[in-house]
């Protein structure tokens, strides 16, 4: 009987470790989505550039090759930063992501509508879909931000909110609710980020001059792909736990 009790105890400990790992993963992905949201939102300040230069990328070393290539680009660029770096990056950001330059009449602005509508316009079907998803998930855009809802920065922040919710419900033992939030996150990533990011990236690469932003695009795509796999594995884990009634 003692050994049975010990077995139950070790299973409980293992289960707690899995939950702790999932919570840590949620916190890590929330922080990274937060970083991406800031990078795509407006030109970086000198302080933000220094902060990015100070990131220890080693914890992401094994993510994937695309991510590693992007880190290499960003690190090499920032190693040579000087008093003109902030301005150089601001010009690059503005020409591509703020749409002051175009490539054959097409703009590399980070709005889903622009890359998924035939006319390449803002406020199209994707915008309305994203707006409804935010509403359904009780997420509102902060007052004073006048970009449309399908801007990549807002989408990243939406995933931050969901990730924080997943961590909170896991902490409280709500596996079913956590699974629901994981599924919403996974579908959103597939339907509203990965669905158009390649088109956006290809266009941006034709306009960007700095190795920094070219690297950021690689880091972003590498992270999105890795996150899709992470969400898939979390969903499987939570489904198994619910089936076993753990």
Instruction: Please state the length of the chain.
Output: 246
User: Dihedrals φ, ψ of 182, to 5°?
Assistant: -60, -45
Q: What pLDDT score does 7 carry?
A: 64
- If you ran DSSP here, which 8-state letter would residue 59 be given? G
Are 97 and 109 contacting, i.e. CB atoms less than 8 angstroms apart? yes
Q: What 3-state class would DSSP assign to 122?
A: coil
Instruction: Assess contact for 53 and 81: CB atoms under 8 A.
Output: yes
- Residue 144 has a pLDDT of 62
**198 C-beta neighbours (distance < 10 Å), count:** 11
For 44, the token pair is 């970086």
DSSP 131-155: HHHHHHTT--PPTT--S-TTBHHHH
Helix axes 46-53, 65-79, angle to 10 degrees: 120
Low-confidence ranges of the chain (pLDDT < 50): none
**Which pLDDT belongs to residue 48?**
97
pLDDT, tens digit, 9 for 90 and up, residues 19-44: 999 999 999 999 999 999 999 999 99
Per-residue confidence (pLDDT) for residue 127, from 0 to 100: 87
pLDDT for 61: 77
Q: How far apart are CA 33 and CA 25, in angstroms?
A: 12
Report the pLDDT value the prediction gives residue 244, as an integer from 0 to 100.
85
Q: What pLDDT shows up at residue 14?
A: 64
Give the CA radius of gyration of the chain: 20
Nearest to 38 by CA among 49, 24, 29: 49
SS3 111: strand
Q: Taking CA 36 as the corner, what is the angle to CA 194 and CA 181, rounded to the nearest 5 degrees?
A: 60
183: left (phi over 0), alpha (psi -120 to 50) or beta: alpha
Q: Report the C-alpha gap between 244 and 246 in whole angstroms.
A: 5
| CA–CA distance, 44 with 35 (Å, rounded to integer) | 11
């Amino acid at each position: 009987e003692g050994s049975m009790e010990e077995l139950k105890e070790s299973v409980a400990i293992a289960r707690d470790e899995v939950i702790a790992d999932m919570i840590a993963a949620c916190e890590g992905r929330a922080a990274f989505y937060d970083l991406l949201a800031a990078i795509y939102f407006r030109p970086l300040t000198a302080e933000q550039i220094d902060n990015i230069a100070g990131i220890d990328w080693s914890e992401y070393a094994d993510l994937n090759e695309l991510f590693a290539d992007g880190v290499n680009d960003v690190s090499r660029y920032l190693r040579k930063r000087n008093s003109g770096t902030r301005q150089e990056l601001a010009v690059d950001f503005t020409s591509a992501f703020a749409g002051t330059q175009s490539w054959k009449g097409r703009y590399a602005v980070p709005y889903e509508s622009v890359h998924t509508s035939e006319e390449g316009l803002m406020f199209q079907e994707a915008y309305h879909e994203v707006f409804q998803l935010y509403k359904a998930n009780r997420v509102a855009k902060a007052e004073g931000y006048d970009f449309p809802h399908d801007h990549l920065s807002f989408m990243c922040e939406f995933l931050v909110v969901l990730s924080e919710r997943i961590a909170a419900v896991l902490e409280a033992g709500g596996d079913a609710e956590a699974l629901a939030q994981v599924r919403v996150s996974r579908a959103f990533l597939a339907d509203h980020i990965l669905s158009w990011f390649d088109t956006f990236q290809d266009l941006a690469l034709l306009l960007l001059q700095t190795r920094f932003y070219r690297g950021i695009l690689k880091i972003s795509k590498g992270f999105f792909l890795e996150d899709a796999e992470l969400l898939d594995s979390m969903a499987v884990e939570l489904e198994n736990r619910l089936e076993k009634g753990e």
